Copies of this chain bind each other. A is one copy, B any other.
Amino acid sequence: MTANAQSWLDLSPDNGFGLGNLPYGVFSTPATGRRTGVAIGDLVLDLQAATGDDVHATGSLNAFMARGPEAWHALRADLTTWLTDTAHRDTIEPHLLARTDVTMHLPIEVADYVDFYSSQHHAENLGRMFRPDSPPLTPNWKHLPIGYHGRSGTVQVSGTPVVRPSGQRKAPSDDAPTFGPSQRLDIEAEIGFVVGTPSELGRPVPLGAFRDHVFGVCLVNDWSARDLQAWEYVPLGPFLGKSFLTSVSPWVVPLAALEGARVTPPSRDPKPLPYLDDTDAEPWGLDIAIEVRLNGELISCPPFDLVYWTPAQQLAHMTVNGASLRTGDLYASGTVSGPGKDQRGSFIELSWGGKEPITLQDGTTRTFLDDGDVITITASAPGADGIRIALGEVTGRVEPSR
């Protein structure tokens, strides 16, 4: 498909929201209330108005996602037809709104939120910092995608203010913990995967069923208070160091839009156990290029194609014990980092645990986030038609603790 050339809309090829993308989100205007929309160029198509289907006026994508892959593919085919065939122009055009005129909302009602830890460079960086006398990866890391459950109730849409959390911090040299605002507020640049089709309790979802269950992809910033996390996380894992806020991009890119981004994942040694072995399965490495900006300045370019465990493996692992999936489940890759210093997806890595401040173009330095800092994560991937697909952005501004 040389899609953009065929639309009756005037689409810039470098816009990122061409016919090959067609991501879903939830928008509102004073006139419409919350509705599902599809981004096309600088516009958003009001799906409830265009289709007359009230599933697109429920305030989240969940009801539509629950209909399953056949419904997803049918609507995507219709959208392509409507936006390319001039016979539909008169009926569709009235339902296109300027994206600058709408407010975007959290696109999904998040059921369970799981965060993985699947970037080898990230895990090794943290291991080197925190356990300098041990191998950088824990013994289980190459056998399974390590993950944990996060707080789904504090997953919010891009733009939600990042109120600096308070909590208990204790430096190794302190006798006792103190209470106060986090002094090591950080980001985690991640890719998120949204489950559309539920699964039955007690029935694992195998590698090959990834397409049947996952609806689409978004950007995730898993804000982290490293000082709170360091004091609390042994033995049961991160809790308050993460649960104050997780931000997601407003546009969920359908899995179908990422066909051109699929790549062979990194080779794995040792060979994973059969339920995780994707040697003979459809590869779900994804060539997504992430960019992290601090107050507009590009500070990191984490490469998603190097992530060790794919989203298909993560899904197979997450359900291999019989855990069921629900529509709206969100799971994220974990912080994405590459081998280069400018490919690290968190400040704890960029500043090497706070020991090596980074210097910005304005001459200031950072180890972690200051009040007023704005972090914006964007990403793009190759489209099937040779035109890059944008994943939009997830942004947030740090506000002082209350």
Q: Is A173 located at the chain interface by the 8 A CB criterion?
A: no
Q: Is A57 located at the chain interface by the 8 A CB criterion?
A: no
The interface centre, meaning the residue of A151, A236, A274 with most chain B CB atoms within 10 A of its CB, is A236
Query: A245: which B residues are within 8 A, CB to CB?
Result: 201, 322
A275 smallest CB distance to B (angstroms) = 7
Would A140 and B231 be within 8 Å (CB), given that A201-B154, A203-B402, A237-B237 are in contact? yes
Roughly how many angstroms separate A318 CA and B160 CA in the complex, as a whole number? 20
Q: Is A77 located at the chain interface by the 8 A CB criterion?
A: no
Count A interface residues, CB 8 Å: 64
Roughly how many angstroms separate A274 CA and B234 CA in the complex, as a whole number? 23
Q: Is A320 located at the chain interface by the 8 A CB criterion?
A: yes
Q: Is A202 located at the chain interface by the 8 A CB criterion?
A: yes
Query: A148: which B residues are within 8 A, CB to CB?
Result: 148-149, 236-239
Would A239 and B149 be within 8 Å (CB), given that A201-B156, A203-B402 are in contact? yes
Q: For chain A residues 225-241, which have a beta carbon within 8 Å of chain B?
A: 225, 228, 231-241
**Interface of A toward B, CB cutoff 8 Å:** 111-112, 117, 138, 140, 143-144, 146-154, 156, 160-161, 163, 165-168, 170, 176-179, 201-204, 225, 228, 231-241, 243-245, 270, 273-275, 317-318, 320-326, 329, 402
Closest 10 CB pairs of A and B: A237-B237, A165-B321, A149-B149, A148-B236, A163-B202, A240-B321, A236-B237, A244-B321, A243-B323, A153-B326
22 A–B contacts, CB within 8 A, in A order: A117-B236, A140-B177, A144-B177, A146-B232, A146-B239, A148-B236, A151-B323, A152-B152, A153-B329, A166-B204, A201-B245, A202-B244, A202-B402, A203-B402, A233-B235, A236-B237, A236-B238, A237-B237, A237-B238, A241-B321, A243-B318, A243-B321
